[in-house]
Structure 1
């Protein structure tokens, strides 16, 4: 009688033991706080990008209590450049709720976790499985890709009906032990072997019964989202420098793109920019130097920014009394939460930053 074939989970765990990632910073030590922080940072962001941000972040906020006690500006400053800033704002609010409602700890309860901002079903499962070894499934982009190929599931994976089927499959494959390793194994397998482009099928431990491979459908699965061209918009960004070399910054609104970050003032047209300039600054609007265009792509649209640069301007009284408008000294810029393209713009002006 032939031996029963190893299960999906057993094969992934054996692969993980010799080919998985075992030295990620959030694994040593693997505390609930560090796991949670890593999972939030890893949403829509690759491991290699997250690692230095994670190290710096826990260096400044080593515990959940430290994060809760910090100001939003302090949190955004450490997050600056990582993108998707709603994650940082949600993380900060969630930390404060943990202090208020859960004794300063992350709750070991699925419903309590998903009640915290920024934590959905997959993230809650990843936290519970990795921090406490609890038996919960995950379904991030890597896992969706592996499951759609292995089971031959057609249809955009984020469509409700397809996602429901994938959740059921993810649950059916769960082992009864080593949940932290299995959770990491799934993510590693999708990120390093069953990749979106050019997957290493010859090395795959699931290849013997992978539907996509056996039916020649690897390249077509997972099914792409029905696409349409991203809309584009343009904006003028106003880079004003005073005689002391300080930069005029404006806080973004509390909702929307780059919410609550410090940035440069923005206008859609020269007419709007001229009105704003006249209300806040003293000088010649037409004396601006036009800098190179800065393109930036968001999830839902592309933004083309056209910077206008003035030197040695004076401010009207409104600037000094407005909490959402401030002159920032050169040394302060590194400690403020700035959008990545704005930070890149300022970093590209050595004379401005004294570099």
Structure 2
């Protein structure tokens, strides 16, 4: 029987808004005890540094290259993660000696799955030295060595959580976990077989970029701007006609694969409303790849706080008589779930258990991964 380990997960997603920190105790299987979680926001100036780094990252040809400002950004990013862990331990009165492992995602700055290249900034050794806790990092690379797309990795954790969904809600049919971050991704979990997972399309990134460019606002809080606009149907159609949507899963995206170019010169609210519909319709298109129509859609990530996205999802799901809920409705935490997943994956990595499957990333066979470093 696998040992129960105490793990901290760290996640900084494509929204680049900060660091999610979460603690769980798990055997890397279906035994999961969720602990406390925190969020540490990035200051605006550092977000701008990452954005500059994203431009420099476009010239990367091998995963270890750090052109331009990237080396400095990586060091600063790792320092912020280390500080976040130390504050988390202090705040929750947790001794570092009781923590077995840290799962460190880092910050994705480039993801080119067709080229077998994915780059996450983050110095695992530096983090281990700062915190005094062993670290597993670079968990996407081995999947790509084995023919996978390196994303998404959260499905392993979704599968563990799906075991907790009440039977009266699952009704024996597939359950779908939807994470709406900068990019949206889903995991389809059936009673039999490995999870099916893939990126569905834009999440919050385009909406955030739109309101930032048009109004100097970081994001559309609650979807209030979008709620005042109209859906411009021909623009939605233009987005959904992109070649990405004709690809069969597994498939994954870089945050720059979709841009605002197709919006044209729409008014602020109409642009936000139209992008919301793009996000929701792209997610619902995933129905086509489920072995049978799902009964339940569980929405996680920042996008669940956008009431306009949630309304569009709920309306679209009625076509298949499915129910749409937020993670909290089932006792989960939609903010910390990805950080929890990275803690969970670190434990699986320690035991050599699969992090990905052919049905989640397209790898040749179920494969583990990650690089383990211990403090000296």
| Same-fold call, TM cutoff 0.5 | no
Normalized per residue, the structure richer in helix is 1
Larger strand proportion of the pair: 2
Greater length-normalized contact order (CA 8 Å, ≥ 6 residues apart): 2
Question: Bigger radius of gyration, 1 or 2?
Answer: 1
